[in-house]
Amino acid sequence: MRKGICHLCDKEKDLAESHIIPKFVYRWMKNTGGQYFRTALNPNQRIQDGLKNHLLCFACEQKFSKYEKWFADNIFFPHLQNSSRFLEYDENLGNFIISVLWRRLLLNKINGQEYFEKVFNDWKLYLDKKTVLQNDKIHLLFLGDIWGEDSQPNEFVHRYFTRATDTNIAEIDDDIIVFAKFSRFLVFAELNSNKQNFRGTNVYFEKSRFPFAQYIDNGKISLYFLDRAEKVFNLALSRISEEEQAKILFEINKNSKKFWNSDAGKSVISDINNEVKPYTVDEKMKYVCDICLTSMNEPEGHLLRTYEIIQSQKYWKFIFSKNSYGIDKEGLQQRLDYFKEISSSPTPWIICDNCISMFNLKNIDKNKAYINKWISTKGKFKPNKCGDFRNYLGEEEIKRIPGMIAGIN
């Protein structure tokens, strides 16, 4: 520790060494790949931990450590152990993400670079428990294991999207985001008011859960991260000496079977085995059905409101069967929890041409017109009567739903 002014509470105290990317990420990387790390800027120096800076006093560091432990226990390891898990969260997730991204803005401030002062100060006061949060457009995107079947955009995508740690402020046309990427997770926040179609990635500061479907319908953002993957690894390769490359091979060959069976080894194998094919941006919107997750392209699909969804017995039967929610005590509670989760959804539902048959709609042409308008506005359009179903159904219709849900076999 060393004396200094804590960047969060502004008090002169002993400062602890703070990570930007949490320490548990580096422990996981060690346990699943190798004992040393190298940065793209200085690949000739082996380090045993992530980069640290004297940023916070012990008390403020402990505050952030509580958020990190919650994320590790409730999101990080559960997702890595079972990537299909339907994860629940509460306000701790938002606090964790902001604590990471605020530290990234802080590094820019310390280095005399653009740090988006208004957002920075809002997050600082919120994290220090002094004000209500204003800038809350934060996101978490779960990254998968497979980044190309037989072909991929460049030779580093698996290593980048499944293993690498990276953080930056990205300006992509009119969009500006601050992000931190680690393991199979990308957390980011919108720094300007330009609304994007980030579907299923929004993080709320309350008890909630992630939907099955997540995607970012913006080809240029995808290109940014694909390009980032190539630049980060090419920079490291251009700077690493032959001596250090020999050390890496020596470490691998000490127990080659263990390495190639590790998570790190598998990511390298995936990059080696796939053919590289350039990635081009398709300006057409791509999205998935919120029920069956079928991929669609404009102008496919229909747009429905929550009150239209929850009245369908066929919909509930499909969901309960898919999730194995029975009619025993546990199953009925799971059904109730699921119903509570989706019944006040503020956003419209995207439904494919197959799943639309589950719903007895009075005017299906209207729902088709809604999806066309949603497409033309790049996901910004929201029809009326979205939100809590109780605002749009009669008393008898509302009473019928719980019995219907409980009685489906």
Q: Report mean pLDDT in 10-residue bins for the chain, 409 residues.
A: 91 92 94 84 82 91 96 95 78 97 96 95 94 93 81 91 94 89 95 73 87 74 90 92 92 92 94 86 80 88 95 94 90 88 83 95 93 87 89 92 90
Which runs of E-coded beta strand occur in 163-256? 166-172, 175-182, 185-190, 198-199, 208-209, 215-216
Work out how many domains the chain is built from and give that number: 2
Residues 67 and 185 in one domain: yes
The burial of 107, by beta-carbon neighbours within 10 Å (0-12 exposed, 13-18 middle, 19 or more buried), is given as: middle
The answer to whether residues 389 and 306 touch, using CB atoms and an 8 Å cutoff, is yes
What pLDDT shows up at residue 195? 58
Residues 220 and 290 in one domain: no
Look at residues 214, 232, 250 and tell me which one is the last residue of a structural domain.
232
What pLDDT shows up at residue 379? 81
What pLDDT shows up at residue 187? 97
Residues 222 and 311 in one domain: no
Residues 214 and 90 in one domain: yes
The sign of the torsion formed by the CA atoms of 195, 196, 197, 199 equals: negative
Domain span including residue 223: 62-232
Domain membership of residue 47 (yes or no) is no
What pLDDT shows up at residue 166? 95
pTM equals 0.79
3-state DSSP assignment of residue 298: coil
Distance CA 129, CA 145 (A): 37
Residues 108 and 180 in one domain: yes
Residues 187 and 101 in one domain: yes
Where do we find the tokens 């102008």?
Answer: 299
Residues 198 and 332 in one domain: no
Residues 222 and 78 in one domain: yes
Domain membership of residue 272 (yes or no) is no
Where do we find the tokens 């290593």?
Answer: 159
